Structures are given as C-alpha cells and as structure tokens.
C-alpha cells in the first residue's frame, strides 16, 4: 500500500531523470562519448534555476537560462576535447571539476539554496505530483520533437554519423570536431534543463546534486533500450524508451527503499545495475560464442541483458 502511495512521486522523479538521460543518450549513444560533464551540468542547471527563482525571475526564463548554462558547459568540454586534444573522458572530468567551483559561486558560497514553492509558481513540485507529471510529460514531448526534427536534418544526420563513423564523416566533408562540440552542447543543455526541473521538484538546489548522475542516466538508458530496441530500433522510440527507463529505475528505487534497504547503499545499487548491463553482453560473447553475432548486430548487445 505504501508502495502505491509512493508511486506518483517515483514517476515524477523518474520523468525528470528520464529527461536527463535523454541528454546523456545524445553524448553516450549518438556521439559515442562517455561525457562526465553531466555530473556537474545537472547541478549547474539546478543552481541557476534556484538562484534566479530567488531573484524573482519567471520560471520559464530560469529554465531557458539553465539550458544555456548547461550548453555552455558542454561547449567547454567539447573545446577541451577537440581544440586542445584532451581525451573526451578526461575533458568531461575537468569540466565537472570546474563546474563544482562555478556552482558554488552561483550559490553564493552556500551549499544549498531553498526554493519556496508557495511564493514561486513552480512547474513541478513534490507536493503536487499529478501536475508535476503532466508538466514533465509536456516538456519531454517538446524536447523529443525538437530532437527528432533536428537529428533528421542535413546537419543532424552528420551529427549521427560523427559518432557512428568519424572516418566516413570526415571523408564526406563533415566537420567532426565542430559536431562534437555542438552535440555536447545539446546534451548538456538538456541535462541542465533536467537539473532545473529537479531543483523545482525538490524545492532546493544542493551543491552535491549531480553526484553519480551519469550512472543513474546510464542505468535508465540501458533499462529503457533493453525494452525499446525490441519494439523498434529508431531514434524517437529509443528516446521514449530512455524516459521509460528513468521511470522504471525510480519505481525500483522506491521499491527497494520500502523493502528496507538503507539509502546509503543506493548509489552502489545504481552502479551495480550499470555494471551488470555493461558486463552481460561481454560475458555472453566470451563464454557463449553463439550469442556473439547476435549481440554484435544489436549494437553492443546491451539489449540482451
């Protein structure tokens, strides 16, 4: 019974993390970059939103500002990687660390800023789950439509090929470096947008908000794609699947809390989920070779897990 009571909250929070996971999907799956910037940029989104709300700025403007701040951090990672030749994973870590200082600065040196949901007209808040769910569904639908429109343009197609085959892309006159920067900007913009929604939902922005966010996002992606790839392996269905993965993740999360698991262990649980999804296709290929071809055909084989 208490599980059903917790369900709307789990769905609302799952939708927020699903939105965030869509951003990570773009960097991890489309650009083929494990971008660790997101641990910082989700927090940047939350901080920007909370501080601007505190200054009396309307919610929609706070959200746009959060998106822009996130996109800027993506550009920074992209330039560290492409212009300065730093390996992408390290570029992400460096930006993440830079953002920790930046976020503290945004919060004015405090580690937490509260948002009052009674004085601010928030789009989402944990005290109003049905409204929050509706608002998140609308936002996610808008983001998916924008991404769908963009990624099927002449420019958008080259973003896909940049991650899929950089050699082919360059040979076809695609500026691979610029595309990586653009892709990381979009990805981190969406992540920061999710951060802004998360701050509203929780009613606060905390300097530690983003810790381990990438792992939650990857868990959502793997869970979601394991279902959606079986339905139809196209772009929009994958994005919807990723959002679904976020929801499933938070339902499971709430369930294990109610089962009595100490919250201290939850980050470990997230990491184990991701490790299992990454390991299963490898182990299948290694010890059950007949699965090897099928797994390879299914693009790395996460779907088999």
Partner 1 sequence: MLKITGLRKTFNPGTINAKTALDGLELHLKDGDFVTVIGGNGAGKSTLLNAIAGVWKPDEGKIEIDGVDVTAMPEYKRASFLGRVFQDPMKGTSPDMEIAENLAIASKRGIKRRFVRGVRKADRERFKELLTPLELGLENRLSAKVGLLSGGQRQALTLLMATMNRPKLLLLDEHTAALDPKTAAKVLELTDQIVSRNKLTTLMITHNMKDAIAHGNRLIMMHEGRIIIDVSGEEKQNLTVEQLLELFNRASGGGAVNDRMILG
Q: Among residues 3, 5, 150, 265, which is the contact residue for partner 1, using CB under 8 A? A: 150
Q: Among residues 89, 145, 157, 279, which is the contact residue for partner 1, using CB under 8 A? A: 157
304 contacts partner 1 (rule: CB under 8 A): no
Q: Which of residues 160-179 bind partner 1 (CB under 8 A)?
A: 160-161, 164-165, 167-176
Q: Which of residues 174-203 bind partner 1 (CB under 8 A)?
A: 174-176
Using CB under 8 A as the binding criterion, the count of chain residues that bind partner 1 stands at 24
Question: Minimum distance from CB of 172 to partner 1 (Å)?
Answer: 5
Q: What does the chain come to in residues?
A: 305
Task: State the DSSP H helix or E strand holding residue 114, giving kind and residue range, or none if neither.
Answer: strand 112-114
152 contacts partner 1 (rule: CB under 8 A): yes
With vertex at residue 268, the alpha carbon angle to CA 49 and CA 109, rounded to the nearest 5 degrees, is 30
Segment contacting partner 1 by CB under 8 A, of 20-28, 117-125, 154-162, 247-255: 154-162
Segment contacting partner 1 by CB under 8 A, of 3-11, 129-137, 157-165, 259-267: 157-165
What is the C-alpha to C-alpha distance for residues 64 and 58, in angstroms, rounded to an integer?
Answer: 10
Question: Minimum distance from CB of 18 to partner 1 (Å)?
Answer: 22
Beta-carbon contacts of 124 under 8 Å, excluding residues fewer than 6 positions away, are 12, 16, 131, 132, 135, 136, 197, 200, 201
User: Long-range contacts for 236-242 (Cβ within 8 Å, ≥24 apart)?
Assistant: 236/144, 236/148, 238/25, 238/29, 239/22, 239/25, 239/144, 239/147, 239/148, 240/144, 242/18, 242/21, 242/22, 242/25
Query: What does the binding site for partner 1 look like in residue numbers (CB under 8 A)?
Result: 150, 152-158, 160-161, 164-165, 167-176, 297, 299
């Amino acid at each position: 019974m208490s599980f059903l009571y917790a369900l709307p909250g789990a769905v609302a929070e799952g939708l927020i993390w699903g939105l965030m996971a869509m951003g990570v999907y773009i960097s991890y799956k489309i650009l083929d970059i494990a971008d660790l910037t997101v641990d910082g940029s989700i927090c940047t989104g939350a901080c920007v939103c909370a501080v601007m709300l505190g200054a009396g700025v309307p919610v929609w403007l706070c959200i746009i500002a959060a998106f822009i701040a996130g996109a800027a951090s993506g550009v920074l990672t992209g330039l560290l990687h492409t212009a300065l030749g730093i390996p992408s994973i390290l570029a992400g870590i460096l930006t993440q660390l830079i953002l920790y200082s930046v976020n503290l600065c945004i919060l004015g040196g405090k580690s937490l800023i509260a948002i009052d949901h009674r004085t601010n007209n928030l789009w989402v808040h944990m005290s109003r789950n049905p409204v929050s769910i509706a608002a998140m569904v609308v936002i996610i639908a808008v983001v998916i439509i924008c991404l769908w429109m963009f990624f099927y343009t002449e420019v958008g197609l080259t973003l896909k090929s940049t991650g899929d085959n950089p050699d082919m892309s360059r040979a076809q006159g695609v500026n691979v470096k610029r595309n990586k920067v653009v892709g990381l900007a979009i990805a981190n913009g969406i992540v920061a947008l999710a951060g802004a929604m998360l701050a509203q939902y929780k009613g606060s922005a905390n300097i530690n908000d983003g810790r381990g966010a990438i792992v939650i996002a990857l868990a959502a992606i793997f869970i979601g794609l394991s279902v959606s790839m079986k339905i139809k392996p196209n772009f929009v269905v994958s994005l919807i699947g990723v959002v679904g993965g976020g929801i499933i993740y938070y339902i499971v999360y709430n369930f294990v809390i109610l089962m009595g698991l100490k919250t201290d262990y939850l980050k470990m649980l997230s990491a184990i989920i991701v490790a299992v999804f990454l390991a299963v296709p490898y182990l299948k290929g290694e010890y059950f070779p007949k699965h090897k071809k099928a797994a390879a055909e299914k693009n790395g084989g996460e779907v088999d897990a």
